[in-house]
Amino acid sequence: MYSSILIVLFFRSLFIFSWFLSLLFCQTQEGDSLSFIKSPKKAALSALVFPGGGQLYNGKKLKAGLIISMELYSIINWYSSADLYKNYDEQNNLKYPLPKYRYLEKRNKYVWWIGFIYIYGLIDAVVDAHLHPFDDIMSEDIYLDELSIKRKENK
Q: Measured in whole angstroms, how far is the alpha carbon of residue 62 from the centre of its chain?
A: 9
Which tens digits make up the pLDDT trace of 25-65?
A: 555 545 444 447 888 999 999 899 888 999 999 999 999 99
Which tens digits make up the pLDDT trace of 83-96?
A: 888 888 888 777 78
- Please give the residue that has the higher pLDDT: either 145 or 30: 145
Report yes or no: 62 and 124 within 8 Å, Cβ to Cβ.
no
Which tens digits make up the pLDDT trace of 102-124?
A: 989 999 999 999 999 999 999 99
* Per-residue confidence (pLDDT) for residue 66, from 0 to 100: 93
Distances (CA, A) of 64 to 56, 77, 98: 6, 20, 34
The residues spanned by each domain of the chain are 2-25+38-154
Q: H-helix or E-strand containing 64?
A: helix 61-86
* Per-residue confidence (pLDDT) for residue 124, from 0 to 100: 95
Burial of residue 7 (number of CB atoms within 10 Å: 0-12, 13-18, 19+): middle
Grouping H, G, I as helix, E, B as strand and the rest as coil, residue 79 is: helix
* Per-residue confidence (pLDDT) for residue 111, from 0 to 100: 93
